Amino acid sequence: MEASLLFERFESRLKKQILEFIGDREDPFDLEFLMNQCLQPVSDIMIHNALCELADEGKIIRLNDRYYLSTRVLMRRWLRQKIKNLEDDVIFDELEIPRRLIRQVTRLLKERPELGYIDVADFVRDAIRRAVSKLRM
């Protein structure tokens, strides 16, 4: 068998192994990380080339000059965020509040952090809950 063919097979197997290894990895990874994790004696140039090919094929995303992330992980995160936004649209409704009142609430939040309100919406929700329960009594 020709040496170039063997080399091609090896490259293809390396790419496959790298992809299997980082396919579900949530954290970004770099060449150094793969070098340390690699059980076979593979040169950094070969891993670098494999990463470039995987990036060209869209299987991993190049985040910057050093780090990469699996496209599957990125897509999963993006979908998760999209679903969360959709859920928010179903669960929440927007209400127009006069800015004059919002300014007063903002001032209260700044001056009285011990009250524990996270933001204006948190205060407004508490105000509504209290008003509703007062009317029930």
**Which residues would be at the binding site for other proteins (CB under 8 A)?**
88, 90-102, 104-105, 107-108, 111-112, 115, 120-121, 123-132, 135
Of the pair 14, 105, the CB lying nearest other proteins is at: 105
Task: Report in angstroms how near the CB of residue 126 gets to other proteins at its nearest.
Answer: 7
Looking at residue 29, the DSSP 8-state letter turns out to be: B
Min separation Cβ 78 and other proteins, Å = 22
Residues facing 62 on adjacent strands: 68
Q: Residues near 14 by Cβ (< 8 Å), separated by ≥ 6?
A: 42, 46, 47, 50
Closer to other proteins at the Cβ: 61 or 124?
124
Q: Name the helix (H) or strand (E) containing 61.
A: strand 60-62
Nearer to other proteins, 33 or 117 (CB): 117
Q: Element (H or E) spanning 69, and its range?
A: strand 68-70
Q: Name the minimum Å distance from CB 77 to other proteins.
A: 22
Please say which residue, 80 or 129, places its beta carbon nearer to other proteins. 129
Give least dist CB 99 to other proteins, A.
5
Residue 47 Ramachandran class (φ > 0 left, ψ -120 to 50 alpha, else beta): alpha
